[in-house]
Amino acid sequence: MILYGRYRSPFTRRVAISMRLLEVSYEHRAITTWTHWDDVRKVNPVGRIPALELDSGECLFDSGAILDHLDQVAGPTRSLVPMVEPHRREILRIVACAMGGLEKVVAALYERTMHPPVKVHQPWIDHNEAQARSAFAWLEALQPAPWLAGARMSQADITTVVTYEFTHIVSPWLIDDRTYPKLSALRARCNELPAFSDTLPVAGVDQADPQLPSAMREA
């Protein structure tokens, strides 16, 4: 299998972590829509990452669809989102909150970086960042036992940590470890695992896209 997209993208990274935890081997091609538009369109007609090329040559795109496929391949005893309710619903609810917060962080990031300064609308940034903070507060209020949704790690932990870490990089003013001690502890715990530590993105501006804090999203 071939995974397209940089680990700087939290959407790509959550797929990469999941594949490593599920022991699914893959080749990694760190391309972006900003610098490899034609190459990305070959694996996703919309020109977004991540994309996963299966051994058959079929390409899957959108991190949610890719993760669903990986869970189906892994089977009910190993899947990162369980097949059985109500545990499945519990995990998907946490994932939805983390992804919602992530999308708001990205929306605010785009507003700051994709417009000329005179066209940046600060109230829109404030609105999105307030929604992101609300998402983090909800996630922080969860009671790990020891993971966010029970006795073993799930997609809830992966997506939450990836979102939290990405926000640390692109919008550090939104994240204060003293405000979110449980999320900070979860992040530290996960980063002790190779699946997380080996996919850590590098903070700062990507040299290939010097005008952009190269996030970026599935776009």
Mind listing the pLDDT tens digit for each residue in 132-168? 999 999 999 999 999 999 999 999 999 999 999 999 9
- Together in a domain, 97 and 181: yes
- Together in a domain, 36 and 62: yes
The residue segments making up the domain with residue 21 are: 2-74
Closest by alpha carbon to 217, among 3, 1, 12?
12
Instruction: Read off the pLDDT of each residue in 101-126 and give the average, rounded to a whole number.
Output: 96
Query: Of 74, 101, 135, at which residue does a domain stop?
Result: 74
Number of domains in the chain: 2
Stated pTM of the model? 0.91
Q: Average pLDDT, whole number, for the chain?
A: 91
With beta carbons less than 8 A apart as the criterion, state whether 30 and 5 touch: yes
What is the model's pLDDT at position 202? 66
Q: What's the rounded Cα separation, in Å, for the pair 131 and 28?
A: 33
28: its two tokens: 């990694």
